[in-house]
Amino acid sequence: MLREFSAGGIVYKKEKNSFLWLIRRPKGGKGYRGNLGWSFPKGWLDKNETLEQAALREVAEEGGVKAKIIKKLPALKIFFANPNGQKVKKSITYFVMERLDDLKEGFGWETEETKWVSKEEALRLLVYKNEQELLKQAAKILTTT
């Protein structure tokens, strides 16, 4: 079984008395796992890169923002078959992050669109149930600190 490691960010910004969350829609047609709906920025670790470094880089590349890490969330474990039919165990580590600034160059080529949405809208738009659950955890962290 192959192993893959990814990291990403659940990025928020405070606006008035509420939090808005950054979601992104990938560019292109169908991915090899089918669905390219709304999700959080994430991606593979580059060689010699830490989870934190990868997550911050992916948030910049796919989300177009500079952020700082607030808290690490429990890693997601998913299993799937890649296009060659090989079984893959993937570990995805997300971090709750606070937006510091928008990058002047914006998001990269992998992203079609980004938007800031309420927790309720994010829960409605996010494709993956496990990301919906992580958003609930992230929101709880922010309201209890």
- CA separation for the pair 101, 120 (Å, rounded): 24
Q: How far is CA 47 from CA 35, 54, 71, in A?
A: 27, 10, 23
pLDDT at 120: 97
Report, as ranges of residue numbers, the positions in the chain whose pLDDT lies below 70. 29-36, 145
Q: Tell me the domain boundaries of the chain.
A: 2-144
pLDDT at 33: 46
pLDDT at 143: 86
Helices (H), the chain: 51-63, 119-125, 129-144
pLDDT at 145: 61
2-144: CATH number: 3.90.79.10
**Residue 117 and residue 25 in contact, taking contact as beta carbons nearer than 8 Å:** no
